[in-house]
Amino acid sequence: MATHHTSDYQTGELKSRDLSYPSGGGISYKEVNEDVVRTMTQTGKWYYLALAGAVSGFLAFWILPWAYQIYKGQGVSGLNTPDFWGIYLTNFVFWIGISHSGTLLSAILFITKTPWRRSIYRSAEAMTFFSVATAAVFIFVHMGRPWNFYWTMPYPNQRQLWLNFQSPLMFDVFAISTYATSSMIFLYFGSIPDLAAVRDRVTGWRKQVYSALALGWRGTDSEWHWLFKAYTFFAVFIIPLAVSVHSIVSWDFALSKVPGLAKTIFAPYFVVGAIYSGSAGIVTLMVIFRKAMKIEKYITLNHFDKLGMLLLVMSLLWSYINVVEVFTGWYANTSAENETLIYRMFTTPYAYMFWLMIFTNTILPLLFIFKKCRTSILACVVVSLGINVGMWLERYLILTTSLPRKFLPYMWHDYIPSWVEISMTLGSFCFFAMLFLLFVKLWPSVSIYEVKEDIGIPMRKGGGHH
Amino acid sequence: MKRRDFLKFIGIGGVGAGAGFVLGKVSKPPGAKLIPYLIPPEDIVPGVATWYASACTQCGAGCGTLVRVMEGRAKKIEGNPAHPVNRGGLCAMGQSSVQALYNPDRITKPLKRKGPRGSGDYTEITWDEALKTLAENLTELKSKGNSDKLHLLTSPLSGTLDKLVREFVSAFGSTNYSHYGLFQRKNLAFANLSAMGTASVPHYDIENTKYLLSFGADFSSTWVSPVNYSNGYGKMRQGAGERGKLVQVEPRLSLTGANADEWVPAKPGTEALLALAIANTIVEKGLAKDGGAWRGVLSRYKAKDVASICDVSVERIEAIAVEFAHTRPSLAIAGDSVSSYENGIAGAIAVNILNQVAGNIGVTVIPNGDDLGGGRRVDFSKKISTLIAAANADKVKALIVYGANPVFTTPKAAKLEDALSKVPFIASFSSFMDETTAQADLILPAHTSLEDWGDDFPDPGVGAPVASIIQPAVGPVFETKSLGDIFIELAKAVGGNAAGKITAPNFAEYLKSSWKELYSRNREMAAGTLGFEDFWNKTLQNGGWWGPPRKRTATVSARASEHLTGGPARFEGEEGQYPFYLIPYAQTAYMDGRGANLPWLQELPDPMTSVVWGTWVEINPKTAEKLGLKEGDMVNVESPFGKISAPVYLYPGIRPDTVAVPIGQGHSHYGRYAKGRGANPIEILPYNEDPRSGEAALNSTRVRITRGGSGERMVKMEGSTKELGRGIVQTVSTSEFKRMKKEGV
Amino acid sequence: MSGFFERIAGKLKSYREPGYYTKLDHKWTMVIDLDKCNGCEACVVSCYAENNLPVVGKEECEKSRAFSWLRIERYVEGEYPDVKVKFIPVMCQHCMKAPCETGCPVYATYHNQDGLNVQVYNRCVGTFTCATYCTYDVRRFNWFTYKWPKPLEAQLNPDVSVREMGVMEKCTFCIQRIRAAKDKAKDEGKDVQDGDIKPACSQSCPTGAIYFGDLQDPNSVVAKLAKSPRRYRLLEELNADPSVIYLKRVMGDGNSSHE
């Protein structure tokens, strides 16, 4: 970012290299600053209503049922023998998936120097962090004794207890905590200059908070230099990490022997699915975000066009892997695999879910072949929501159609989620919304300095450069 | 004797004889003492189990048990490996007797009725008051010269307790002491009486049988002595010798049928004819041991005539006959589906004849001799119908019930409850509020068998004299009394003859003196002991006494053939209106309903359907398809005598013209686990019994099935019954197995 | 100092000896003769009694949450009148290459020196991984803290802990009996003899279909039966190396009297 623009400063050339802002000089630096800071300081009653709704939804739909579950026991869920993993783990994988595109996309696009990344990456990264947090809570929700969660951490103790590093769940603990930490740092590092910008524009307690958060950023050349180094390091680090996280999540399932779960294709399948669902999540979120925050000028149709292409590619990839998954099951032609496939594809109610998933994830995104659709907000909303529903169903189907059809038919038993589980699923969306609303209010949700880089220097009408 | 068993006996030996005497003192309810082990009781070491040898009384089989007791509490019941009846095994019901002991729904104190009969409104009274009330009632009866109007109805008691009750009743001046149970197998006893001269079930040597032809005898789960037979079955299949074959004749595949090599689904009511046709074929083909005597009688039952009636092909009848006669030794047994008709005796006798012509009597059928004189007495004149008739004729002024639950186990058509309402005084000694006890005016709860003394002389025997001892393994959990003590104290309170005759201070003493008498009569018992005390101690340690096997034989007398039948059994309900035969059967866990109050048994999946906590109706899938029924649909099972509703279970092991309903659920009382659960098929049965024996004819009605009715959902534990070629239960063919054995691989 | 290193080196060498990791004190093995088993379920109740298994009631049974560590599976083939029914008791197979053991993140389930797959209730955090990985569906979860109505709790076996809500459990091969027998043998200065240990199911089995013993002892009954040509193991193709050996049921052909 900073480096390749220095030439602009030096040559003083007025180049509008980026199509993101066709107007080229339509926006001034000051406007950028004000627009972004406005999202933080001037929030209307709708914001507070939304926040209140999210918070109360989070409390009512998630915390209360969870407290009830902890008090009474895991039995209040619909889990049973042998379907020990139901909606809870579905949600876990779903939210981990959602998390995948934010940081990963940001990092990839950063390294490939894709300019249209700039106005969306901040909120995408936030989305990553929040959905990882949501997913992590689901790990505790699904545990039989969540109050002993710290037993899964390697901590020194007098009983000389140690962890089983063979366990894919152990991999998970490390992968997810590393991922959450790294994506948080990545988000934070990228925000430092903007936090400084905010610091300069606010007063009162906010000033103190943002001063602390800005780490004394003054915008010197060496500061930009070091920030860029650190940011690049994390961008490079986070790409394999993100890939490994979802591979590891897939191993939770793939390392079992359960028909329908024990698939070698699972790691790429989950990574692709994660990026796919995450990108769709970004699209959905951007639509809401730009509308609610009135920042259409920063997140333009051009962005949707690019994201649409990404979705189309991911859809094709996902569909290919899905076909491979079904095919290998069918080709194996063992009774266990066959029964699982029949159960998933041709037995009510799972058949409805399966074919709906195929429709939303394979057929519907084909609309994005057409630029008209890619640049239509309505089409983007429909397709991205469809993909999110489909991807949730995919995870649900993986778990709830494999475990009820294990090796011994005597123990086959269908899984029906209870109200507690459904409620907590809703609650998780409220939780996510709550976190995101707070983020928008408390954090510069569009990268101020990077958007400015796109605008170009000479447009400093109001002289608002810090 | 295995080392482990030996250790157990050492453990018991350390306690010494008559441990039960002191137990009452040491195992008070928890909390009785603040520092319970300050002066620890001699036989209680915390953390160390004590094993008491005893005998199981859950059904009539009389298996020997070892009761594991820790800190005065019974923990587990295991089969006594040294006991000849069960040889270490113990069935589901027997093992659940600890849950009967610690059942939360036991009657904890004597109760006196307050509200109207059946209202369940009782007040707790003291034992003194309870005994006084009972004695007053009986004395009043006596003073009015109505002694004979006292009726006693108990489960089939045996041994010393039976002797005591008999003494009491006769001293009181009554002749009306009868045993009652739904599955008393009186038809079998009657058939054996008329054929072989002993009114009991003989010892069937399944272990050494090479061809077992079972006519509906579900010996794996409930029939007569399941653990003993199962033990024999295991050895028959994989014992020292060649593998025996099992062929099961029954309209509904029972658990035993499921283990059979062949299933012959003969039409209900024709099993007797089939048995006779097989016997006839054996005689006709000249394969019989002594065919001559039977040729005449049997010639009426030609395979070709019988085949179509039984729905079994002539070829199959002949093939079974040939194999049965050729495979030595063979054995035919008469179970419930051959004898649960109005002429059920005919079926049992037919099987006796079949055994006779195949030469099995004395080989695999060993007639029972009551060597020790304590066996169960089967009195064919004492029937439930006589009791009902007497009550209706106001000839029952007082009724004492123990162990039997006739209100539950007699059909509604018998109108037993109406008859009971005419009895002015009913007392129950039951420890549970069952349907009959709920009709009682006075309840004196007796101990369960784990708290009580007693003995048992198993019938059927095991081809050897067996006397088991029942000793208290724990002190009383509640304020209950030993059944024997109740009678002894009652005798004293009533006075007169009874008090003069029964002088023992308590039942434990009575039992001991009774055994002393037995000991003095029996030379075998005396051998190797240093007098009675030594013998008594050893008996308590071992759980009883058993002698060497006796060889006995008999010849089926031609006289028996007078009970034979010419045609199939009669069914209530016209075929057009009621198209299905109804088979109410004894389920593994509940048997005649007695197991329904034990949570372990309620949650035990039925072996054939895996259904738990309820009743179901077994219907052939093809029949269900015709009726448009799916699994789990509620249906009404309607006979000419009533209707019950239960969910459908699609059961391929049943004839398409037959439906089956397990007995045992549908209790209106009997504790939290049993009450209001499922349906009781006995309710819709006709009030039929074999007039000669008094055994209920359970399978003697047809029913119709209609959709509808209300009831609980069916819950089954199985997901799928299809193995899907996954090789879960792998098999080898019989010929392959023979090859393996021959090659010694 | 050199002594220290030598000790370390010696230790390292011992790890390299063949069989160091696979050598067991005992290899407890169960042999179940399916030709003897008649499916009567006495073993199931025996297991409930011995191991303090709670009774969960109809509603919970409907959710397939019954606690039977040991169950009799029944499979039916064919249609009336040629119906074949087969039974198989299934409990924890104590796999030598147990899928559950690799799944647990906290070592709540592991393999002990007796070749047993053991479950440490206190260590369990309830991730369900072991149960989902189990190819035999034998693991049972404490969905609630179960209560025994008074005085039924007096029956509870003090040798076996009563489990609380949130932990996984399964058949232990009656490890408390194994322990007791080993302790006793140790007190007497002997080895455990064949036949000293009988798990509750094996003890109560009316047909004597369940055998138990040490497969490493060549003279034990199970070692002899394990050589039977009828031997097979459940879902052997999954390569979990289970310690329960089944003997095939004899059935089929030879129905000379069949029409």
Q: How much is the ipTM here?
A: 0.91
Residues of chain A contacting C124 with CB distance shorter than 8 Å: 144-145
In CATH terms, the fold of domain C23-247 is Alpha-Beta Plaits (3.30.70)
Under 8 Å between Cβ of C136 and C93: yes
Is residue A156 one of the residues assigned to a domain?
A: no
Q: Do A407 and B726 touch (CB under 8 A)?
A: yes
Residues of chain A contacting B715 with CB distance shorter than 8 Å: none
Q: What is the mean pLDDT of residues C91-112?
A: 92
Of A135, A169, A391, residue with least CA distance to A281: A391
pLDDT tens-digit map of B134-173: 999 999 998 998 889 999 999 998 889 999 999 999 999 9
Under 8 Å between Cβ of A421 and A349: no
Which pLDDT belongs to residue A454? 64
Q: Do C49 and B652 touch (CB under 8 A)?
A: no
Residues of chain C contacting A68 with CB distance shorter than 8 Å: none
Q: Do A335 and B724 touch (CB under 8 A)?
A: yes
Is residue A369 one of the residues assigned to a domain?
A: yes
**Given a cut of 60, is residue B283 above it in pLDDT?**
yes
The verdict on B96 and B234 lying in the same domain is no
Under 8 Å between Cβ of B706 and B635: yes
Compute the distance between CA of residue A252 and CA of residue B218 in angstroms, rounded to an integer: 48
Each residue's pLDDT, cut to its tens digit, for chain A (466 residues) gives 333 443 333 333 333 344 344 444 456 667 777 777 776 766 778 888 999 999 999 999 999 999 999 999 999 999 998 899 989 999 999 999 888 878 888 888 888 887 777 777 888 888 888 999 999 999 999 999 999 988 888 888 887 788 888 899 999 889 999 999 998 999 999 889 888 888 888 888 888 999 999 998 888 899 999 999 998 998 899 889 988 998 999 999 999 999 889 888 999 999 999 989 988 988 888 888 788 777 777 778 888 898 899 999 999 999 999 999 999 889 988 899 999 999 999 988 899 999 999 999 999 999 999 999 898 889 999 999 999 999 999 999 999 999 999 999 999 999 999 999 999 999 999 999 999 889 888 888 877 777 777 665 544 444 444 4
Is residue B196 one of the residues assigned to a domain?
A: no
Chains touching B (at least 3 CB pairs under 8 A) are A, C
The verdict on B438 and B355 lying in the same domain is no
User: What tokens does B419 get?
Assistant: 């008859």
Q: Do A413 and C64 touch (CB under 8 A)?
A: yes
**Given a cut of 60, is residue B28 above it in pLDDT?**
no
Q: Residues of C numbered 58-97 whose beta carbons fall under 8 angstroms of chain A's beta carbons: which are they? A: 60, 63-66, 71, 73-75, 90
Q: Where in the sequence is the domain holding A363, given as residue range(s)?
A: 3-144+180-458
Mutation target vs A (from B720, B722, B728; most A CBs, 10 A cutoff):
B720
What does the DSSP assignment read for A185-216?
A: HHHHHHHHHHHHHHHTT--THHHHHHHHHTTT
Q: Where in the sequence is the domain holding B596, given as residue range(s)?
A: 580-714
Name the domain count of chain B: 4
pLDDT tens-digit map of C55-72: 999 999 999 999 999 999
**Given a cut of 70, is residue C256 above it in pLDDT?**
no
Is residue A365 one of the residues assigned to a domain?
A: yes
| CB burial of residue B107 (10 Å; 0-12, 13-18, 19+) | buried
Is residue A280 one of the residues assigned to a domain?
A: yes
Q: Do A410 and B726 touch (CB under 8 A)?
A: no
Residues of chain B contacting A339 with CB distance shorter than 8 Å: 724
Which pLDDT belongs to residue A93? 92
What is the percentage of chain C residues whose pLDDT exceeds 90? Answer: 80
Mutation target vs C (from B7, B238, B308, B601; most C CBs, 10 A cutoff):
B238
Q: How many CB pairs under 8 A join B and C?
A: 284
The verdict on B503 and B524 lying in the same domain is yes
Which pLDDT belongs to residue C18? 73
Is residue B490 one of the residues assigned to a domain?
A: yes
Residues of chain C contacting B315 with CB distance shorter than 8 Å: 259
pLDDT tens-digit map of B583-624: 999 999 998 999 999 999 999 999 999 999 999 999 999 999
Under 8 Å between Cβ of B182 and B409: yes
Q: Is B634 helix (H, G, I), strand (E, B) or coil?
A: strand
**Given a cut of 90, is residue B275 above it in pLDDT?**
yes
Residue type, A417: P
Q: What is the dihedral of CA A146, A150, A151, A155, to 10 degrees?
A: 180
Which pLDDT belongs to residue A7? 35
Under 8 Å between Cβ of B386 and B315: no
Of C208, C221, C216, C202, residue with least CA distance to C115: C216
Residues of chain A contacting B729 with CB distance shorter than 8 Å: none
Signed CA dihedral, A391, A395, A401, A406: sign only: positive
Is residue B304 one of the residues assigned to a domain?
A: yes
Give helix A335-346 / helix A301-332 axis angle, nearest 10°: 140
C121 touches chain A (CB under 8 A): no
Indicate which CATH number applies to the domain containing B637.
Answer: 2.40.40.20
Q: What is the H or E stretch that residue B740 is in?
A: helix B734-743
Higher pLDDT, C84 or B499: C84
Q: Do C259 and B652 touch (CB under 8 A)?
A: no
Cα separations in angstroms, C49 against A32, B92, B638, C157: 74, 10, 39, 8
User: Among the residues of C168-257, which ranges form H helices?
Assistant: 175-187, 200-204, 221-225
Compute the distance between CA of residue B379 and CA of residue B192 in angstroms, rounded to an integer: 14
Is residue B208 one of the residues assigned to a domain?
A: yes
What is the percentage of chain B residues whose pLDDT exceeds 70? Answer: 94
Chains touching A (at least 3 CB pairs under 8 A) are B, C
Residues of chain B contacting A407 with CB distance shorter than 8 Å: 726
Comparing alpha-carbon positions, the chain B residue that sits nearest to C77 is: B722
B728 touches chain A (CB under 8 A): yes
Residues of chain B contacting C232 with CB distance shorter than 8 Å: 727, 730
Mutation target vs B (from C36, C37, C40; most B CBs, 10 A cutoff):
C40
Is residue B726 one of the residues assigned to a domain?
A: no
Residues of chain B contacting C200 with CB distance shorter than 8 Å: 76, 78
Comparing alpha-carbon positions, the chain A residue that sits nearest to B728 is: A408
Comparing alpha-carbon positions, the chain B residue that sits nearest to A413 is: B719
Q: What is the H or E stretch that residue B660 is in?
A: strand B658-663
Which pLDDT belongs to residue B23? 44
Q: What is the mean pLDDT of residues B372-387?
A: 83
When CB atoms are compared, the residue of B96, B313, B602 closest to C259 is: B313
**Given a cut of 50, is residue B637 above it in pLDDT?**
yes
Cα separations in angstroms, B592 against A365, B416, B506, B663, C184: 65, 17, 32, 6, 43
Q: How confident is the model at residue B709 (pLDDT cuts 50, 70, 90)?
A: confident
Mutation target vs B (from A410, A412, A415; most B CBs, 10 A cutoff):
A410
pLDDT tens-digit map of B200-242: 888 999 999 999 999 999 999 999 899 999 999 999 999 888 8
Is residue A466 one of the residues assigned to a domain?
A: no
Signed CA dihedral, B391, B396, B398, B400: sign only: negative
Compute the distance between CA of residue A213 and CA of residue C153 in angstroms, rounded to an integer: 60
Compute the distance between CA of residue B595 and CA of residue B62 in angstroms, rounded to an integer: 16
Higher pLDDT, C112 or B5: C112
Counts for chain A of helices (H) and strands (E), in that order? 17, 0
Which pLDDT belongs to residue A12? 35
Cite the beta strand spans of B58-160 per DSSP E: 64-70, 73-79, 111-113, 122-124, 150-154
Residues of chain C contacting A173 with CB distance shorter than 8 Å: 105
Is residue B738 one of the residues assigned to a domain?
A: no
**Given a cut of 90, is residue C10 above it in pLDDT?**
no
Kindly report the nearest CA distance between residue A174 and chain B, in angstroms.
Answer: 37
Indicate which CATH number applies to the domain containing B94.
Answer: 2.20.25.90
pTM, rounded to two decimals: 0.90
Higher pLDDT, B644 or A16: B644
Number of alpha carbons in the 13 Å side-chain half-sphere of residue C159: 20
Name the domain count of chain A: 1
Under 8 Å between Cβ of C185 and C193: yes
Residues of chain B contacting C204 with CB distance shorter than 8 Å: 78-79, 88-90, 95
Is residue A285 one of the residues assigned to a domain?
A: yes
The verdict on B157 and B56 lying in the same domain is no
Mutation target vs C (from B603, B649, B721, B740; most C CBs, 10 A cutoff):
B603
Is residue A149 one of the residues assigned to a domain?
A: no
Under 8 Å between Cβ of C52 and B707: no
Q: Residues of C numbered 171-230 whose beta carbons fall under 8 angstroms of chain A's beta carbons: which are they? A: none
Residue B106 φ/ψ, nearest 5 degrees: -70, 155
Q: What is the mean pLDDT of residues B686-705?
A: 91
Which pLDDT belongs to residue B249? 94
Each as own residue / partner, the long-range contacts of residues B395-398 (CB below 8 Å, 24 or more positions apart, any chain) are: B395/B149, B396/B149, B396/B151, B396/B176, B396/B422, B396/B423, B397/B141, B397/B146, B397/B149, B397/B150, B397/B423, B397/B424, B397/B425, B398/B137, B398/B138, B398/B141, B398/B149, B398/B150, B398/B151, B398/B423, B398/B424, B398/B425, B398/B426, B398/B427
Per CB distance under 8 Å, which residues of A are interface residues toward C? Answer: 72-75, 78-82, 84-85, 142-146, 148-149, 151-152, 161-164, 166-170, 173, 252, 255-258, 261, 403, 406-411, 413
Kindly report the nearest CA distance between residue B526 and chain C, in angstroms.
Answer: 31
The verdict on B303 and B155 lying in the same domain is no
Signed CA dihedral, B25, B29, B31, B37: sign only: positive
Which pLDDT belongs to residue B29? 47
Of B370, B364, B319, B376, residue with least CA distance to B165: B376
pLDDT tens-digit map of A79-104: 998 899 989 999 999 999 888 878 88
Compute the distance between CA of residue C111 and CA of residue B36 in angstroms, rounded to an integer: 40
Of B675, B679, B698, residue with least CA distance to B687: B698
